[in-house]
Amino acid sequence: AEQSGKSQTVIVGPWGAQVSTSSNGKAFDDGAFTGIREINLSYNKETAIGDFQVIYDLNGSPFVGQNHTSFITGFTPVKISLDFPSEYIIEVSGHTGKVSGYVVVRSLAFKTNKKTYGPYGVTSGTPFNLPIENGLIVGFKGSIGYWLDYFSMYLSL
């Protein structure tokens, strides 16, 4: 195939519950940007991932994505600041499983070309991982109720 010089964006996922009935979550879709500068999430060591918010790159400037918050409290916040643009995510992994009868994302870890952040949350249930050999994560979508029900990612190829 010929390279047109134009990048293509695809959505991969979801991981977690397949429908947002899991914890009556509120769906979100950040859309696609040009990179990731920072990920802010929160987790509970006994339950799952709670809040999720990303500072994206948009053509060389930071773009603060919406803060997607849990309906409940009691989470530990984590800030993952990437050394943009030289540091980027090469693998996303985690676990999905049931909490209070709901299928949710229980843990998340982000591996970059420089280091690994996490895992955060509870590493039990069904593991998943997405190695990104070529392409960049440029956006997130998903649903958060009590916990992160599910998420998908935009990949720029």
Q: Is residue 85 part of a domain?
A: yes
Report CA 48 to chain centroid distance, whole Å. Answer: 13
Rounded to two decimals, the pTM is 0.92
Q: Is residue 141 part of a domain?
A: yes
Q: What is the CATH number of the domain that holds 41?
A: 2.100.10.30
Phi-psi region of 47 (alpha: psi -120 to 50; beta: other; left: phi over 0): alpha
Burial 127-147 (b: 16+ CB within 10 A, else e): ebebebeebbbbbbbbbbbbb
Count H helices and E strands in the chain, helices first. 0, 12
Residue 44's φ and ψ, nearest 5 degrees, are -120, 135
Range of the domain at 128: 9-18+26-156
Report CA 130 to chain centroid distance, whole Å. Answer: 11
Counting beta carbons within 10 angstroms of the beta carbon of residue 154, is it exposed (0 to 12), middle (13 to 18) or buried (19 or more)?
Answer: buried
Q: Is residue 2 part of a domain?
A: no
Q: Are 61 and 33 in contact (CB under 8 A)?
A: no
Per-residue pLDDT of the chain (157 residues; tens, 9 = 90+): 444 456 799 999 999 986 645 457 899 999 999 999 999 999 999 999 999 999 999 999 999 999 999 999 999 999 999 999 999 999 999 999 999 989 999 999 999 999 999 999 999 999 999 999 889 999 999 999 999 999 999 999 9
Give the total number of structural domains in the chain. Answer: 1
Between CA 156 and CA 33 the distance in angstroms is: 9
